[in-house]
Amino acid sequence: MAGPDARLSAWVHGTVQGVGFRWWTRSRALELGLTGYAANRPDGRVHVVAQGPRENCQRLLELLQGGSAPGRVETVVADWVVATEPIDGFSER
């Protein structure tokens, strides 16, 4: 039996707005069967919240850090919690 879903909260720093980053993130998350969102923040970061099996969230985190994302990712600050409420779909905000 699988354990509870994980929720990844990742703050992506760099040149990640206006370059298709949120769309790219949404596409990767949906391929991995994750729910959540990618949101532009006023300070230029993108906040990614992804929920689902921990190993799928971990894979998304690796993709965010891996250099194939649009723009230029300088660093990703990640936090993990156990998912407590469902999120429907994966949206760009």
**What positions carry a catalytic annotation?**
22, 40
Question: From CA 6, how far away is CA 81, in angstroms rounded?
Answer: 6
Cα–Cα–Cα angle for 6, 11, 17, rounded to 5 degrees:
125
Task: Tell me the C-alpha distance between 33 and 46, whole Å.
Answer: 20
Going by C-alpha positions, the residue among 56, 63, 49 that lies closest to residue 7 is 49
The vertex-9 CA angle with 14 and 35, nearest 5°, equals 110
